[in-house]
Chains A and B, each alone.
Chain A
Amino acid sequence: MPGPDSYRDLREGVRKLCARFPESYWRELDEREEYPEAFVRAMTEAGYLAALIPPEYGGAGLGVAEASVILEEVHRSGGNAAACHAQMYVMGAILRHGTPEQKQRYLPPIARGELRLQAFAVTEPEAGSDTPSIRTTAVRRGDRYVISGQKVWISRVQHSDLMLLLARTTPADQTRRRGEGLSLFLVDLRANLGKTVHVRPIRTMINHHTAEVFLEDLEVPLEDRIGEEGQGFRCILDGMNVERILIAAECVGDGDYFVDRAVAYAKERRVFGRPIGQNQGVQFPLAQAYARVRAADLMRFRAAELYDAGLPCGPEANMAKLLAAEASWEAANAALQTFGGYGFAREYPIERKFRETRLYQVAPVSTNLVLAYLAHNVLGLPRSY
């Protein structure tokens, strides 16, 4: 397990970049519901979003542990990496399952930030958490697939050049196993947006650019299918562990952000002639939240260590995400309570992050589904679905 200072240089570097994007930056974007273009550009130009791409394709070739530290620091600074974190890991599907030609064609421009691949279209309105029951269908016609269907909650699709798409290529009743018959496609949004791909933005309680996506006879050339036909679900599963670990790190960053801010406020704010932080009723929730964040942090590094060593890490990655999302929410709640009325004020730091960190118990996977995974796959309990 890495020591506390193993990532000192990396943390210091990310902090310096984030210092250029203070909380006022994020607050103003939030008010206007704007995409943090300048921040994303800075992260791209500094090479952070290419952390996981191997050097032979122009990236830094770092492990998930380092990538997670980068995102953690963004969140700890008060920022929100959701606007760009997917550029880090969606390319993993190409890296692990693409052909040599696909890797050569796509990874270098993604590493340089010339191509944004940060939209990942899985969720559908009818299927919800039950991914294998998606209905978007891809039909092979000669040297291409023709795809029709509907996706929902597809984040950053309006800020992406390419989109990874999961669609059914074999009807469910003709496959041997659930989860088979799905295939993965790389969709060129630049060529198809407004023609065969239509986007309708969804406004949410946070500044998160997400949308409904409608596909009408979208044509995707054969050479843009990633992995084998029918094996798409398997191709996205290994990427999900990376996503879980990175999201866990963002939650750890949020958790530390809340504890930092709340502790500083509790020391400063005086009521009844003493700092509110002198009351155990204020101290204990913060101490509790801090302990939970640290525990989740350990699970994050445990999962990352296994992943980076090429070992199975499904249970750890899922537990890291579960524990970290709960810890950040607990810390958010404790911070809000510590700030009292000011916790609700837009010009104070807490309320925006409070809204933002709540997401992680729902997306990219909801808490119940993580618990079901642990119950079925680790504890061996009967499947509930």
Chain B
Amino acid sequence: MDVVVCVKQVPDTEQPIRVRADGSGIDEQGLNWILNYYDEHAVEEALRVRERHGGTVTVVCVGPPRATEALRTALAMGADEAVHVWDPALEGADHLGVSRVLAEVVRRMPHDLVLCGRLATDDNASVVGAALAEYLGLAQATAIAKLEIGDGVATVEREVEGGVEVLRVPLPAVFTVERTINEPRYPTLPGIMKAKRKEIRTLSLQDLGLDPAQVGAAAARVRYARFDPPPRREAGRVVTPESPEEGARLIAQFLQDTAKVL
């Protein structure tokens, strides 16, 4: 089983994120960049597939030079190889552009299974995995919570409203994973050291035979108009009822008249 995992480097959401004053994007100064949590689960699932069925795990990332750190995190967990793609023309590429680049990388390597996170915690778009499957012409299932590999087919489970959907999908296929699928391992010291020594190749669009005009910023069908910070939360209203009954009445009144949820 040769598994390819597509990963993204995102800002650590445990830190405060600030929008630039001119609304052109987020302020990257001092941000801590990490491997997208959902992708960490995808890497973990790939490693489990390798443990059960043999084969290799290759992680692929499209992103600026700092994104290699996310690849090292995946290598430290135990991935075999890492491929980094960057090209100045990709600055401003949209999700479909990135998906086309990933499709080209995946096409060039053995792949029985392609895994992605269900979404990236920076823009929550959930587009790349699905688009990648389309560009590769492979079967897909999104947001899977369980994966079992059989002979040429995978059985996957999706959590749907009120139940579980079980799908049988021919391989090779593309799956995006839900965070409930597993608990990712933390790296070991030997893993961290091996990852540090590993050479990470960076491929340009030219290396992949791709035309910047088709996948880069120039081809983007989506452009960000403006970023706004979330509205400031107003201070809550404090009421000091005389009795529990009055308190209950005030709350009910608030829910009915002000919040209009009752």
Contacts and interface: CB of A to CB of B under 8 A. Distances in A.
Interface of A: 8-10, 12-13, 16-17, 19-20, 45-48, 50-51, 60, 62, 70
Contacts of B69: 8-9
A13 B190 contact: no
Interface string B197-240: 00000000000000000000000000000000000000000000
Nearest to A51: B189
B95 interface: no
B170 interface: no
Interface residues of B, number: 15
B6 interface: no
A20 B186 contact: yes
A20 B187 CA distance: 13
Given A45-B188, A62-B189, 10 more contacts: A8-B69, A9-B69, A13-B192, A17-B186, A46-B189, A50-B189, A51-B189, A60-B189, A60-B193, A62-B193
Nearest to A70: B189
A76 to B, nearest CB: 15
B76 interface: yes
A12 B189 contact: no
Nearest to B69: A8
B249 interface: no
Contacts of A46: 186-189
A9 B35 CA distance: 12
A371 B147 CA distance: 62
Interface of B is mostly: helix
A46 B189 CA distance: 6
B195 interface: yes
A213 to B, nearest CB: 31
A9 B195 CA distance: 9
Nearest to A47: B189
A8 B33 CA distance: 11
A276 B191 CA distance: 44
A62 B190 CA distance: 11
A47 B190 contact: yes
Contacts of B8: none
A12 B73 CA distance: 9
Nearest to B196: A9
B118 interface: no
Contacts, number: 41
A9 B73 CA distance: 7
A13 B190 CA distance: 11
Given A8-B69, A9-B76, A16 B186 contact: yes
Contacts of B192: 9-10, 13
B72 A60 contact: no
27 contacts: A8-B69, A9-B69, A9-B72, A9-B73, A9-B76, A9-B192, A9-B195, A12-B34, A13-B76, A13-B186, A13-B189, A13-B191, A13-B192, A16-B186, A19-B186, A20-B186, A46-B187, A46-B188, A46-B189, A47-B188, A47-B189, A50-B189, A51-B189, A60-B190, A62-B189, A62-B193, A70-B189
Contacts of A60: 189-190, 193
Contacts of B191: 13
Contacts of A45: 188
Interface in B67-123: 69, 72-73, 76
Nearest to A5: B69
Contacts of A48: 189
Interface string B176-192: 00000000001111111
Contacts of B188: 13, 45-47
A51 B190 CA distance: 9
B219 to A, nearest CB: 34
A47 B72 CA distance: 18
B15 to A, nearest CB: 12
A112 to B, nearest CB: 12
A375 B188 CA distance: 42
Contacts of B76: 9, 13
Contacts of B73: 9, 12
Contacts of B195: 9
Contacts of A10: 189, 192
Contacts of A47: 188-190
What 6 A-B pairs have minimum CB-CB distances, sorted nearest first?
Answer: A47-B189, A16-B186, A46-B188, A13-B187, A17-B186, A13-B192
Interface string B44-79: 000000000000000000000000010011001000
Contacts of B190: 47, 60
Contacts of A62: 189, 193
Nearest to B187: A13
Interface in B148-201: 186-193, 195-196
B27 to A, nearest CB: 19
A17 B191 CA distance: 13
A50 to B, nearest CB: 7
Contacts of A17: 186
A235 B17 CA distance: 52
A47 B69 CA distance: 21
